[in-house]
Amino acid sequence: MAGEALLELEDLRLDHEKAGVLLDGVSLTVRRGQVLGVVGESGSGKSLTGLSVLGLQPKGRLSGTMTFAGEDLTRFGSRDWRRFRGRRAAMIFQDPMTAFLPVRRIGAQIIEQIRLHKSVSRQEARKQVVSLLTRMGVPAPEQAADRFPHELSGGLRQRAMIAMALSCDPELLIADEPTTALDVTVQAQILTLIREIGAREASVMLITHDMGVVAQSCTDVAVLYAGVVVETGPVTEVLQTPLHPYTQALLRAIPPMDGPRPERLPVIEGVPPSPETRPAGCVFAPRCPQVTSKCAVRPSMRGEGLHRVACVLIA
Angle CA 253–258–263, to nearest 5:
55
| Per CB under 8 A, 265 contacts another protein | yes
28-56 in b/e form (b: 16+ CB < 10 A) is: bbbbbbbbbbbbbbebbbbbbbbbbbbbe
Q: What is the 3-state secondary structure (H, E, C) of 118-157?
A: CCCCHHHHHHHHHHHHHHCCCCCHHHHHCCCHHHCCHHHH
**Binding segment (CB under 8 A) for another protein, from list 55-63, 90-98, 136-144, 169-177:** 136-144
Q: Residue 203's beta-bridge partner residues?
A: 172
| Per CB under 8 A, 257 contacts another protein | yes
What does the alpha-carbon distance between residue 117 and residue 254 come to, in Å, rounded to a whole number? 44
Contact 306, 219 (CB under 8 A): no
| Per CB under 8 A, 18 contacts another protein | no
Angle CA 301–305–308, to nearest 5:
25
Compute the residue count for the chain.
Answer: 315
| Per CB under 8 A, 236 contacts another protein | yes
Cβ atoms within 10 Å of 14's Cβ, excluding its own:
25
| Per CB under 8 A, 19 contacts another protein | no
Which of 5, 11, 15, 41 is the binder for another protein (CB under 8 A)? 41
| Per CB under 8 A, 249 contacts another protein | yes
CA distances from 215 to 141, 178, 255 (A): 31, 15, 16
Which of 56, 116, 254, 296 is the binder for another protein (CB under 8 A)? 254
**Binding segment (CB under 8 A) for another protein, from list 52-60, 89-97, 117-125, 248-256:** 248-256
Nearer to another protein, 70 or 255 (CB): 255
Nearer to another protein, 56 or 253 (CB): 253
Q: What is the closest distance, in whole angstroms, from the C-beta atom of residue 305 to another protein in the complex?
A: 17
| Per CB under 8 A, 118 contacts another protein | no
Task: Determine the longest span between alpha carbons in the chain, in angstroms.
Answer: 66
Nearer to another protein, 138 or 173 (CB): 138
| Per CB under 8 A, 138 contacts another protein | yes
Which of 71, 142, 146, 183 is the binder for another protein (CB under 8 A)? 183
Nearer to another protein, 59 or 261 (CB): 261
What does the alpha-carbon distance between residue 46 and residue 207 come to, in Å, rounded to a whole number? 6
Residues contributing to the site for another protein (CB under 8 A): 41-43, 137-140, 144, 152-153, 155-156, 183-186, 188-189, 192, 209-212, 214-216, 235-236, 239-240, 242, 249-259, 261-262, 264-268, 271
